[in-house]
Amino acid sequence: MNKNKHIVVGIIGLGSRGFSITQMIAKMKDVEIKYVCDTYEDRTEAAQASVFRLAGYKPQIVTDYKYILADEEVQAVLILTSWETHIKIAIDAMVSGKYAGMEVGGAYDINDCFLLVEAYEKTGIPCMMLENCCYGKYELMIKNMVDKGILGEIVHCSGGYMHDLREEIAYGKENRHYRLRNYISRNCDNYPTHELGPIAKLLKINNGNLMLSIYSISSKSKGLSHYLNEKKKDDLELCNTVFKQGDIITSVIKCQNGETITLTLDTTLPRFYSRGFSVSGTKGRYQEDGNLIFLDDKHCKFHFLSRIFYNNASLYLRRYMHPIWKRFKKEGVKGGHGGMDYLVLRAFLESVRDRTDTPIDVYDSASWMAITALSEKSILIDAPVPIPDFTKGKWKSKKTSEGRYSLD
Amino acid sequence: MNKNKHIVVGIIGLGSRGFSITQMIAKMKDVEIKYVCDTYEDRTEAAQASVFRLAGYKPQIVTDYKYILADEEVQAVLILTSWETHIKIAIDAMVSGKYAGMEVGGAYDINDCFLLVEAYEKTGIPCMMLENCCYGKYELMIKNMVDKGILGEIVHCSGGYMHDLREEIAYGKENRHYRLRNYISRNCDNYPTHELGPIAKLLKINNGNLMLSIYSISSKSKGLSHYLNEKKKDDLELCNTVFKQGDIITSVIKCQNGETITLTLDTTLPRFYSRGFSVSGTKGRYQEDGNLIFLDDKHCKFHFLSRIFYNNASLYLRRYMHPIWKRFKKEGVKGGHGGMDYLVLRAFLESVRDRTDTPIDVYDSASWMAITALSEKSILIDAPVPIPDFTKGKWKSKKTSEGRYSLD
């Protein structure tokens, strides 16, 4: 063991996202990446070489994550694999006594979410979805404003993952990317936690509030086939593939405390990227599209003039930037996606170091991931479906976390 | 009869909207307002005086619209009354052989929508909802772009009526406004046709396409009571009133041709006005919030940079302004709400003059108004409800209209 490193981790899954997270962690002086794991040899070698280049040591290469779990020195694993395997590996990690940090994804079966919670409750080992958007600069500023009461009582939020991924999906065979097979075989909100994560934290879901039910509908599926027939004409197999995944999935969620949430998945059509975040309260509103803050006291006379206020939300950063971000700016913003990748990793890794709960816990992770399986079911049966209370009533009296990265 | 006037109308309902429409019509040289009708005397007198001031003649004052319907010279009535009476008066008008132009609103009972259609089918007299947003500059530009295939195949649209009406509702007693009683006694999307009207026309609903089902959810109701307790503290009765109407109603609609529609009603919270119009296609997208056009060919390299493109939609007016608007600009834009009020009135009145079908017909009006009753039911039973086919199959082979104001 490297004596200067406090935190020893294994990294499982080294696709494009896994590789970039490996690089980010390699630069952290207090973390040792003891293992890099993938079933593809070229990926493990590239990751090992990259860590050596950045940090001067070589992680061990393994192709089976169970070797990592068998090493008592490893305190945590980062699960950056394809969506299908997140929960299984996380459960195995907890059972082996290792903190589980899972990349963003959704569940395939609601029972897997129960198993995830069960593993935590049996072992007491934390499991955290690494939902970076919970640490987005604007998401946290709005959360800060909500916590201070600036927007009044919150009654509705919206958000989604609206990101043109046609190229990534269309070249899924070439890039060994799991999205392709998912878009062929399923129809659901396959990526709900942008922006459900930040919304759930803001609405205190599982911590005084609950999600109760979801209803989802799917548009027809036209984006990918149109794209393929324009840009990848020679891939006849794919051009003739029927994609089950609708282009736009819209889900509406009801909460225990009377709020509603609208979620959108929009990943196979041309568009500007947006997480479509909006928060509506009795005193004001934020919306990402237009980057607008409306405060009743201040803007009520101008309510027909949204266009001249576009981007006014940036002016509020000075006053309402979240303490996590203030500190981050002082210490030097680093890492991908504007810094939020770094923050979510530190939130996880410092919990590992301090042996504390993680700011996004297993109940958050399970209930957010459940949305994928439940949206699939709702689309199939064309009816709203209940969202289980994974906390079994503990949401009424959850202990609020207080760490440096707390989102409570 | 005034010999220079080709079109003779009666105006029923002279609240704030009715009064302003009366003024707009009074200025039209080819239209005679033979009657102004309201149950409140001060309103009829003000309207009569206003017509005299603007046009030099005095319409007759009546308090019962049946007097208007009994006058053979009257060709059409404009129904600008409270929502509750739109359909009844429209049916009476058609039965009396007079074109019915109804202000925007929603149905209270799905059966009323069937009765509206039945009255048209029995009499052959057209009935048109005066949905001004169908003639909005941007709505028509986007429709034009869609018709030209610029956005590709359309798979999803969204829109809504997002307008802070707290003051109007809170002072409903003082202003004799019907919204107040509706917000106390109902919970539904009470104003769906902004922006369902333009969306339905764009998706060719009832003309090759159909709306199939709707599911609606309601947020809690907090906006009005918060507002009243801040701004109208001395109105104890109202401060203690429980409003059934949720602050935000979200509805999702499925269409025959596979498109989905998201509708939002957001009228009791502070916010910038928006109709939240968006249109997603396989080649591009428009969204009102940010006033953004994204064209795959042109913007794909900049898809993370929405903020620097805010308001770029205005640049497309030059190339894609709808022919209706080009003509309107040439002839001189006039009338309220940026011109669209004038356009929708002319669309109706010129149909009356020419004895042709109206560009928004009874099937459009019935199916759009039905959304209110169906959303109320869906919220109540927490399930999706089917949307009837008011055309009874005629949507498959509807004759496309071709007038100056055609929206087909």
- How is chain B split into domains, by residue range? 7-132, 133-335+356-397
Neighbours of B310 (CB within 10 A): 18
Going by pLDDT thresholds of 50, 70 and 90, the confidence category of residue B46 is very high
Question: DSSP code of A373?
Answer: H
The average pLDDT across A350-363 equals: 96
Q: Among residues of chain B, what percentage have pLDDT more than 70?
A: 99
Tell me: pLDDT of B126 over 70.
yes
Tell me: pLDDT of A190 over 80.
yes
How many residues comprise chain B?
408
Q: State the architecture of A133-397 in CATH terms.
A: 2-Layer Sandwich (3.30)
Tell me: pLDDT of A1 over 50.
no
Tell me: pLDDT of A124 over 50.
yes
Q: Does B289 touch chain A (CB under 8 A)?
A: yes
Q: In this structure, are residues B126 and B361 in contact, taking their beta carbons and an 8 Å threshold?
A: yes
Going by pLDDT thresholds of 50, 70 and 90, the confidence category of residue A2 is low
Q: Among residues of chain A, what percentage have pLDDT more than 70?
A: 99
Q: Does A38 touch chain B (CB under 8 A)?
A: no
Q: In this structure, are residues A117 and A366 in contact, taking their beta carbons and an 8 Å threshold?
A: yes
Residue B29 φ then ψ, to 5°? -70, -20
Residue B1 is predicted with a pLDDT of 47
Residue range B255-299, pLDDT digits in tens: 999 999 999 999 999 999 999 999 999 999 999 999 999 999 999
Q: Average model confidence (pLDDT) for chain B?
A: 96
Residue range B231-243, pLDDT digits in tens: 999 999 999 999 9
CB distance A309–B266 less than 8 Å?
no
A152: chain B residues, CB-CB within 8 Å: 222, 226
Structure tokens at B397: 């082979």
In this structure, which CATH number among 3.40.50.720, 1.10.1520.10, 1.10.10.10, 1.20.1290.10 belongs to the domain B7-132? 3.40.50.720
Distance from the Cα of residue A341 to its chain's centroid: 10
The average pLDDT across A139-159 equals: 98
The average pLDDT across B387-397 equals: 96
Neighbours of B163 (CB within 10 A): 19
Q: Helix, strand, or coil here: A277?
A: coil
Nearest to A258 among B219, B296, B384 (CB): B219
Tell me: pLDDT of A3 over 80.
no
CA distance B170 to chain A (A): 15
- Calpha distance B204→B157 (Å, rounded): 12
Structure tokens at A319: 């006053």
Q: Average model confidence (pLDDT) for chain A?
A: 96
Tell me: pLDDT of B2 over 80.
no
Residue A165 φ then ψ, to 5°? -110, 20
Going by pLDDT thresholds of 50, 70 and 90, the confidence category of residue B403 is confident
Ramachandran sector of residue B407 (left: φ over 0; alpha: ψ -120 to 50; beta: rest): alpha
CA proximity to A218, closest of A380, A100, A393: A380
Residue range B309-360, pLDDT digits in tens: 999 999 999 999 999 999 999 998 887 778 999 999 999 999 999 999 999 9
Same fold flag, A7-131 and A133-397: no
Nearest to A284 among B152, B262, B270 (CB): B270
Nearest to B282 among A153, A269, A284 (CB): A269
Residue B123 is predicted with a pLDDT of 98
Going by pLDDT thresholds of 50, 70 and 90, the confidence category of residue A403 is confident
CA distance A395 to chain B (A): 20
A–B CB contacts, 8 A cutoff, strictly below: 191
- CATH 3.40.50.720 assigned to A7-131: yes
In DSSP terms, B280 is beta-bridged to B156, B285
The average pLDDT across A382-391 equals: 98
Residue B399 is predicted with a pLDDT of 77
Residue A231 is predicted with a pLDDT of 96
Nearest to A285 among B250, B270, B283 (CB): B270
User: Residues of A numbered 230-259 whose beta carbons fall under 8 angstroms of chain B's beta carbons: which are they?
Assistant: 246-248, 250, 252, 254, 257-259
- Calpha distance A109→A131 (Å, rounded): 20
In this structure, which CATH number among 3.20.20.150, 3.40.605.10, 3.30.360.10, 3.40.50.12780 belongs to the domain B133-335+356-397? 3.30.360.10
Tell me: pLDDT of B402 over 90.
no
Tell me: pLDDT of A58 over 80.
yes
Residue range A390-402, pLDDT digits in tens: 999 999 987 777 7
